[in-house]
C-alpha cells in the first residue's frame, strides 16, 4: 500500500487514541476500553512515517501508564477503606441485652 494509506491509518489511530484519552479524563474507569486496529494489508511502513508511529506508540504507553497508576491508587484507597472499617468495627462496643420480662 501507499505512504498515503499508512498516513491515514496513523492519523486514524492518533484520533482514536486522543478520543480515548478525553473519554478517560471525563469518565475514568467507566470509559469504554481503547480498541483500535490498523487496517490489514498496509504492507511495510514507509520510513518517513517512523517518527509519527514512534510518537503514537509512546503516547499510547504513557496513557497506559497513567491508567495503571490510577488503578493502583484506587486499589490502595479501597484497601485503606477496608482497614478503616475493620478497625471501626473492633472499636464499637458489643451490644448486650437483658431480658427484663422473662
pLDDT of residue 76: 93
Q: Each residue's pLDDT tens digit in the chain (102 positions)? A: 689 999 999 999 999 999 999 999 898 878 888 888 889 999 999 999 999 999 999 999 999 998 899 889 999 999 999 988 887 766 667 777 788 886
CA distance 9 to 24: 22
For residue 92, being part of any structural domain is answered with no
For residue 59, being part of any structural domain is answered with yes
Q: Which three cell numbers stand for residue 13?
A: 489511530
For residue 71, being part of any structural domain is answered with yes
In order of 23, 27, 57, the CA distances from 32 in angstroms are 8, 9, 20
Q: How many domains, the chain?
A: 1
pLDDT of residue 30: 81
Amino acid at each position: 500500500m501507499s505512504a498515503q494509506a499508512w498516513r491515514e491509518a496513523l492519523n486514524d489511530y492518533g484520533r482514536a487514541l486522543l478520543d480515548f484519552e478525553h473519554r478517560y479524563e471525563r469518565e475514568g474507569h467507566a470509559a469504554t476500553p481503547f480498541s483500535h486496529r490498523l487496517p490489514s494489508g498496509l504492507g511495510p511502513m514507509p520510513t518517513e512515517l517512523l517518527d509519527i508511529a514512534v510518537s503514537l506508540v509512546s503516547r499510547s504507553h504513557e496513557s497506559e501508564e497513567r491508567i495503571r497508576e490510577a488503578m493502583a491508587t484506587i486499589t490502595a484507597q479501597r484497601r485503606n477503606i477496608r482497614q478503616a472499617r475493620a478497625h471501626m468495627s473492633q472499636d464499637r462496643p458489643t451490644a448486650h441485652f437483658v431480658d427484663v420480662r422473662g
